A and B are shown apart, each in its own frame.
Chain A
Amino acid sequence: MTEVRQLFFEESFENLDMMESSLLDLEIGAVDKELINTIFRAAHSIKGGAGIFKFEHVINFAHTVETLLDELRNDQHIVTQHLIDLLLRGVDTLRALLKALQTGQEYNPEAVLVCQQEFTALLITPMSPPPEHAHPHPENTHAPVTAPEVIPVGWHIRFKPYPRLLQTGNDPINLFRALDALGELQICADSSQLPTFADLDFQNCYLSWDLLLTGAVEQTAITEIFEWVEGDCDLEMIPLDKESLAETRIVMDKALEASLAKLAKVPEKIISPAPSETPVNPKLSSIPIVNEVLEKPAHNEHLSSHINEASSIRVGIDKIDALINIVGELVITQSMLDQVGEDFNLARLEQLRSGLAQLERNTRELQESVMRIRMLPISYSFNRFPRLVHDLSTQLGKKVEIKLSGEQTELDKTVLEKMSDPLVHLVRNALDHGIEMPEQRRAAGKPETGILKLHAFHQGGNIMIQISDDGAGFNLERIQQKAIDKGLLHPDENPTVEQLYEFIFHPGFSTAQQVSDLSGRGVGMDVVRRNIRDLGGTIEIKSEIGKGSRFSIRLPLTLAILDGQLVRVGNRIYILSLLSIIESLRIQPNLLSVLAGKAEVYRVRDEYIPILRLYALFNIIPSTTQLEQGILVIVEGEGQKIGLFVDELLSQQQIVIKSLETNYKQIHGISGATILGDGSVALILDVAGLIRQFYSSNRVHTFSELSVGAMT
């Protein structure tokens, strides 16, 4: 049941996403039947699903939404901005409702009600109770026709499920629980069809029930409850007046007594582990206890749904097929190697070699396919932006068009999830600060509608995500002024463009003249960069005043595996990500200079690159402290370059990243560990972290350098 529940939530959220994107595609004034049908279907599925789990609020609300959509479909409304906004709000409310149900948190029923009232106000046809409208089925086939205006004082319901009832996922207990909510319910089970224990198929329902519902209940309310088991049972509903009610009660009491007497003969032991759907349990004769018994599993279900919430992933069948294919090949390779090994002689060496090569290829393919399972198209993240842009631009009074491209670019699920907040932030910024008001744009000779582009693509072993707008661009002078005001920059200094952009990522730095709801508080860009950094990525800004700006985010394809360059310092081996290495070179003394007698820099073409002696930072005894005898590996992290001085470059290989944090903790300058071919552990250097550490602990660095200098 929990799984089904989880599935329902997943599906519902997908449906909501679909509703949202379709709503955004709706054009004002026109009625696109196909789109409206899609939206309607999504709403309907949610309602249907919610019915199974008796999420009354969801059913009601979804029904209201559905009614409006139905009217829209029948050309009773025209599509207006207001209507779209209302429907979008409806989607939000439903989402909040479902989220609350999923996590077991409280939701605000008032907000739901307010939203629902807005819907009702717009409806042309008066609201009818959900079931009739949603499933316009004829009056229940088995029910005798009753005059609806006479509400009886009670009902005698004969509920005789077909054996397959349980297999359809229905549980009579739920029905009874719902009935009990309508009035006083008396249940009498008929267990005469129950086979002997040996013949019992636990998937079948052998019981039937006589139910006596006391209270003025409308037939529709009862039909609604049995709606879900329709076709899986024989159902008879007899309205009762006072007299017949009393009669039936006596009959039922007798039957109950008889069945209890029968049960008493059955040893208790057999009853207790009986499947949950056998409410033959004597306790059932009184409702309060029943409820208590019934509530329990419901409660557990709730808890476990909480635990099970750990995310699942939808994998395309093609990916699974590819995986199976590769495993098949692997098995073939294995049996081939087996054969070679059976009676091995030197003549078969060539065969062994080719077998091993094949094994290597299989392994690599397998690895790639498995990684691909974790890959999701970036559209998962991109798809929320049209809505965001729609809402924000309305709020800000700006006209913005959003263009998405490369949505099918795949990236690791973890990366995708962690990138979602930074992306939202960047898009908000672009809308708030980047794109100007329509008047300003017209004055600047630009079209009124600003364009925001989200573009994703592969570049090398990286994923690039670009967010560009054709707005005002960054005002570098203002950034400089602000930096001076904040004391981050000396007025006499002449910073480069990159350095100025760097200030944007400074905590508490905002050039927005007015702090708005959305952004401008200067909180965020530093967080954006931190998030990207955590993923091993970088962010760059390009901007031209008056023309717009572009943020380029570069992310590693996957977090788990990287191409590594092994380097040696003393007797230790460290690993650098190949992607961060620009070049490696031998130091020529004539290109080396020492600034202020401390900081060493090396000239590579037109650049001066500071040198970080790794052994000094890590306090290791190196093979050499003479720069000419070692290797300088120039690496780049966060737009800064640094030369790492190491003893020697070793091989390059693919490495699997292992976390140090699992059993220990994060270490500055080290992003993880890996296991080398010989089983030993090697640490992976975190280039960006090293650079930060280098600059922040420059004093320590120079000190240790001096002490080394004294030693040599």
Chain B
Amino acid sequence: MNNEETKIANKYLTFVLATEEYAVDILRVQEIKGWNKPTPIPNTPEYLCGVINLRGTIVPIIDLRLRFGLERLPYGQMTVIVVVRVISGNKERIMGIVVDAVSDVYDINEADVKPTPEFGSVINIEFVKGLANVCEKMIIILEIDALLNSDELAIIEQSHH
């Protein structure tokens, strides 16, 4: 991100998962698409729904509910996949995350992002960049690189041995 952009507020896309609202940097969001049944990959963790065809590229889909240990919701017409770009090592990968619903786009100032208290949410705090208050609501800002990246791949790596 440029220095210029830190002066003005960053835009974040928020989505709902169970009772909470999460946000990701909108510049990381490639697109939002409806539910396509993914092709499951054998011997992978449950939260990895499988892979889909996104205009010719194979993109893995991760169910955030399962990733955060929440109860599974049946997939249907209302299920939404947010396609995001994550930096993994020196490579950029594209992944889809399944969320309950997309909520809004907010401007959040860097300065307004508060550090996470130890048990601020149901999810592991390593995935959380910080918390922000927008319109009297608390929004959890996700660290998507950490979320879908090293830990994610490492777990899958282990599951094979």
Contacts and interface: CB of A to CB of B under 8 A. Distances in A.
A673 B43 CA distance: 16
Nearest to B40: A572
B43 A658 contact: no
A419 interface: no
Nearest to A681: B39
A683 to B, nearest CB: 7
A681 B56 contact: no
B41 A670 contact: yes
A664 B41 CA distance: 11
A269 interface: no
Contacts of A658: 56-58
Interface string B148-160: 0000010011001
Given A617-B42, A620-B42, A680-B37, A664 B57 contact: no
B39 A680 contact: yes
A680 B53 CA distance: 6
B156 to A, nearest CB: 7
Contacts, number: 62
Interface of B: 37-44, 50-53, 56-60, 93-95, 153, 156-157, 160
A675 B54 CA distance: 10
B39 A572 contact: yes
Given A668-B160, A673-B51, A681-B52, A663 B60 contact: yes
A682 to B, nearest CB: 6
A617 B41 CA distance: 12
Given A664-B51, A683-B42, 15 more contacts: A572-B39, A618-B43, A658-B56, A662-B58, A663-B57, A664-B58, A664-B93, A667-B43, A669-B42, A670-B42, A673-B39, A675-B53, A681-B38, A681-B50, A681-B58
21 contacts: A572-B39, A572-B40, A618-B43, A619-B42, A658-B56, A658-B57, A658-B58, A660-B41, A660-B58, A662-B93, A664-B95, A665-B153, A665-B156, A667-B42, A669-B42, A670-B41, A673-B58, A679-B53, A681-B52, A681-B58, A683-B42
A667 B44 contact: yes
A659 interface: yes
A622 to B, nearest CB: 13
Contacts of A680: 37, 39, 53
Nearest to B38: A681
A680 B40 CA distance: 11
A668 B95 CA distance: 20
A675 B52 CA distance: 9
B6 to A, nearest CB: 28
B42 A663 contact: no
Interface in A339-361: none
B145 to A, nearest CB: 14
Contacts of B37: 680
Contacts of B157: 665
Contacts of A683: 39, 41-42
Interface of A: 572, 617-620, 658-660, 662-665, 667-670, 673, 675, 679-683
Contacts of B43: 618-619, 667-668
A663 B93 contact: yes
A662 B59 CA distance: 8
Contact of B39 (A618, A668, A682): A682
A660 B156 CA distance: 14
Contacts of A664: 51, 58, 60, 93, 95
- Interchain residue pairs A-B with the least CB separation, the first 10: A618-B42, A681-B39, A664-B60, A663-B93, A675-B53, A673-B58, A663-B94, A658-B58, A681-B53, A681-B51
A110 B160 CA distance: 51
A618 B53 CA distance: 21
B58 A659 contact: yes
A711 to B, nearest CB: 19
Contacts of A618: 42-43
Q: Which of A619, A668, A675 has the most CB of B within 10 A?
A: A675
Contacts of B39: 572, 673, 680-683
A691 to B, nearest CB: 16
A669 B59 CA distance: 19
B122 to A, nearest CB: 26
B159 to A, nearest CB: 10
B59 A663 contact: yes
Contacts of B58: 658-660, 662-664, 673, 681
Nearest to A678: B53
B51 A660 contact: yes
Contacts of A659: 58
A315 B160 CA distance: 43
Contacts of A620: 42
A664 B59 CA distance: 7
Nearest to A679: B53
A376 B43 CA distance: 38
A559 to B, nearest CB: 16
Q: Which of B42, B153, B157 has the most CB of A within 10 A?
A: B42
B157 to A, nearest CB: 8
